[in-house]
Structure 1
Amino acid sequence: MQLITKDYCMEMTRYNAWQNVQIQAAMQTLGEEGAAADRGGFFGSILGTANHLLWADRIWMHRLADWPDPKGTPKSSTTLCPTVAVWGSERFHTDGLLREWAGRLNNLDLAGELEWTSTDGTRTSRMPRGRVLTHMFNHQTHHRGQIHAMLTAAGCAAPVSDLILMPR
Structure 2
Amino acid sequence: MDVLRPYRAMAFNNLWANHRLLSACSALSAAEWVAPRTGFFPSLRATLNHILIIDHFYVDAMEGGTLGPVAWANREPCATLPELQAAQKAMDRRLIAVVEAAAGHDGLERIVSVHRGARIQHERLDRLLLHLFQHQIHHRGQAHAMLSGSSAPPPQLDEFFSVGEAELRAGEFAALGISEARVWGEG
TM-score by length of 1: 0.83
> Counterpart of 1:113 in structure 2: which amino acid?
I
Q: Alignment length, in residue pairs?
A: 161
**Mapped pair 1:116 → 2:114:** yes
- RMSD of aligned C-alpha atoms? 2.3
The residue number in structure 1 matching 2:101 is 104
- Partner of 1:127, secondary structure, is strand
- Sequence identity percentage: 25
5+ residue gaps, structure 1: none
Distance 2:74 2:48 in 1: 9
Structure number with larger C-alpha Rg: 2
- Secondary structure in 2 aligned to 1:161? coil
Shift in Å, 1:50? 0.7
Distance 1:135 1:77, change over 3 A: farther
Which residue number in structure 2 is paired with residue 151 of structure 1?
147
1:94-113 CA-partner distances (Å, limit 9, x unpaired): 22222233222226131143
Q: Is the contact made by 2:52 and 2:88 (CA closer than 8 Å) also made in structure 1?
A: yes
Unaligned runs of 5+ in 2: 170-179, 181-187
Q: Deviations over 1:104-141 (max 9, x none)?
A: 222613114333232xx244433333221110111110
Q: Which residue of 2 aligns with 1:6?
A: 4
Note the C-alpha offset of 1:81. Answer: 0.4
* Partner amino acid, structure 2, of 1:23: L
CA contact (8 A) 1:38 1:45 kept: yes
Output the CA distance in 2 between the equivalents of 1:51 and 1:113.
27
Give yes or no for contact 1:29–1:156 (8 Å, CA) kept in 2: yes
Give the drift of 1:37: 1.3
- The secondary structure found in structure 1 opposite 2:133 is helix
Q: 1:47, 1:78 within 8 Å by CA — same for their partners in 2?
A: no
Question: Following superposition of structure 1 onto structure 2, how do residues 22-101 of structure 1 map, counting pairs within 5 Å?
Answer: 22-67=20-65, 69=67, 71-73=70-72, 76-101=73-98
Q: Distance in 1 between matches of 2:122 and 2:97?
A: 25
State how far apart, in whole Å, the 1-side matches of 2:139 and 2:151 are: 19
